[in-house]
Amino acid sequence: MLRSPLKFSYGASTARLSLSSNIASFARFQSTSRKNGTAIMFMNMGGPSTVGETYDFLLRLFSDGDLIPFGRFQNFLGKLIARRRTPKIEGYYEEIGGGSPIRKWSEYQAGKVCEKLDSISPETAPHYPYVAFRYAQPLTSDTYQKMLDDGITRAVAFSQYPQFSYSTSASSINDLYRTSKVIDKKGQIEWSVIDRWPKHYSLIDTFSKHINESLESFPKEIRNDVVILFSAHSLPMEIINRGDSYPSEVASTVYAVMEKLKFKNPYRLSWQSQVGPKAWLGAQTDFITKKLVNEVSEQDVPGVVIVPIAFTSDHIETLHEIDIQLKEELKFPHRMVRCESLNGDPIFHDGLAYLVKDHLNSGQLYSKQLPLDYILGSVTATNVFKHPSDFFGKRTPKIEEIK
């Protein structure tokens, strides 16, 4: 439970109300942390923690027009695809241990980040970890209600999609906004958001370390000829063609990692997890891997290290799609190694804590890019804000706080 909040003085609240809207919003945001700390909400798409949750997960995923737009057939096709795919996907989750580990890792990472924040950012402490998933438990609505019940008044929505896309990052933000309009009509919680961090050192340093560890599995004399194949979740070209920033931000992460590695290996960026007949962003990871491992001699390409560059932890795309499905389709599977995901690496957790600290200290409620993301991306989205300032930084002081 939260510590007992301090009361606002009448003079302090009057001063805040007399400032311009942006400054007043920032002042209220700052003062909230001095009362009862700061909540950090890790946002992601999630995954079914048990096999039995698979259908509900798929139904929510394919019903989300921000991610996979089906237009007026969204609900019908969402249910149809979810029903047809559930038996196969349930089998996949059974093969990787009975469910997705993403909730376990997200809760662990959020907890570690808040522990670190308590020591490096006492002015915004105590920090409270929460996890909100778009398609699986704990859903955004459930987490939001828990935060209200816990008395949270200040929170950072921390996107665990390091590279922004309207289809993923904004879908979670939209879900948060819609939820607030239903269960937080009085605006108890004042929000800011970390909506992207594609070149933050927490990401770059940890992946660089894990890539080096993966390269060490190859003999020293051939190690620098191994291809580093970065893999990110693909998106429909319909979304990309709107001007979505995702491809460029993923590419920026890849380039930053290779800079850290001093470009000591050949590398490429590829895309995975295409669903359905529509055109998706390519080239596909499985196609590139098979070409390099099955068709090119070991003398020319001694091996491939696949790096899941857009994921912050293991889930079905790494544990099954790469580790099982792709490996089984290779003629020489020993030539392919998957780089370890970020998971429980303390370098990653500590780096994220400093990322949040910098965000809190900056007073920035959202990135400079987010308004443009919504101008270009919210083509079919409904019940969303027109500008991030319509939501972030907004909070209505309670009566007892202004007495």
Active-site residue set: 45, 61, 67, 134-135, 233, 314, 317, 321
Cα Dmax for the chain: 77
Structure-block tokens of residue 117: 């924040």
CB 47 within 8 A of CB 315: yes
Comparing C-alpha atoms, which of 383, 401, 400, 397 is closest to residue 176?
A: 383
Residues contacting residue 248 through CB under 8 Å, at least 6 positions apart: none
Q: Give the helix/strand (H/E) hosting 41.
A: strand 38-44
Comparing C-alpha atoms, which of 22, 29, 397 is closest to residue 193?
A: 29
Structure-block tokens of residue 109: 């990472």
* CA pair distance 198, 392, nearest whole angstrom: 21
Residue 403 carries which DSSP code?
Answer: -
CB 47 within 8 A of CB 99: yes
Residues contacting residue 365 through CB under 8 Å, at least 6 positions apart: 25, 26, 29, 191, 192, 193, 388, 389, 392, 393
Buried-exposed string 77-114: b where 16+ CB fall within 10 A, e elsewhere:
bbeebbeebbeebbebbeebeebbbbbebbebbbbbbb
